[in-house]
A and B are shown apart, each in its own frame.
Chain A
Amino acid sequence: EIVLTQSPATLSLSPGERATLSCRASQSIARYLAWYQQKPGQAPRLLIYDASNRATGIPARFSGSGSGTDFTLTITDLEPEDFAVYYCQQRGNWPPLTFGGGTKVEIK
């Protein structure tokens, strides 16, 4: 089973700042990684797939990069609605499909 480790667990930032979230895989998954955003009481929403492709309707301030075992989600110029929990998910080798533990982006 591929284990995804996200860091940091919590990121405290102000609106307008840049957020950099990390996801590390226990073995190479090429570029088979997605990022999701989840707000309290809501289902997750797909942001990025195949490491760097934005899903439909996702603003350009969200970008993804990486390959192999190290991946990054960057949110430039944080908007108030961006404060949420972010999860990565791999499809490189499954079953099982696995998620990271999440990074909470909170208002400083």
Chain B
Amino acid sequence: EMQLVESGGGLAQPAGSLRLSCAASGFALTDYQMNWVRQAPGKGLEWVSYISSSSGTLHYADSVKGRFSISRDNAKNSLYLQMNSLRAEDTAVYYCARLMRYCSGGNCYFRDYFDLWGQGTLVTVSS
């Protein structure tokens, strides 16, 4: 069974730091482009960050640019999100999410939709 499991959430002080991890199982993380998506309590979904398969391309939402850093270790089948300078508005459930990939005729293609999600980890920023 393909699965993503996040960890590392918890309570952080404003201006503090936290590092989230996402462990993949049942598939090779190296084959996929990965993302972090968050959801503030009672609110909708917000895309946070993207990383390509090789880590060569990174993207961030404006709301986290310069404060958050996405990375991956394909050998460990793991994805990370380093969160610095945390603010109250960063309080949310953070999901790691895989971008859809399909293969046909010996070639593989990506669709920028999230086809596998973790269960999420709650980050609370408060003094």
Contact = CB atoms under 8 A, between A and B. Distances in A.
A34 interface: yes
A21 B115 CA distance: 21
Size bracket, chain A contacts: 20 to 34
Given A43-B119, A43-B120, A49-B100, A91 B47 contact: no
Given A43-B95, A43-B117, A43-B118, A50 B44 contact: no
Interface stretch (B21-29, B67-75, B76-84, B106-114): B106-114
A99 B45 contact: yes
Contacts of A95: 47, 50, 59-61
Contacts of B44: 87, 99-102
A84 B105 CA distance: 37
A79 to B, nearest CB: 22
Contacts of B111: 49-50, 91
Interface in A72-108: 87, 89, 91, 94-102
Nearest to B48: A96
Contacts of A55: 115
Contact of B47 (A49, A99, A102): A99
26 contacts: A34-B113, A34-B114, A36-B114, A42-B119, A43-B117, A43-B118, A43-B119, A43-B120, A44-B45, A44-B114, A46-B100, A46-B115, A49-B100, A49-B113, A55-B115, A87-B45, A89-B114, A94-B59, A94-B112, A95-B59, A96-B61, A97-B50, A98-B47, A99-B46, A100-B44, A102-B45
Interface of A: 32, 34, 36, 38, 42-46, 49-50, 55, 87, 89, 91, 94-102
Top 3 nearest A-B pairs (CB, nearest first) are A91-B112, A43-B117, A95-B59
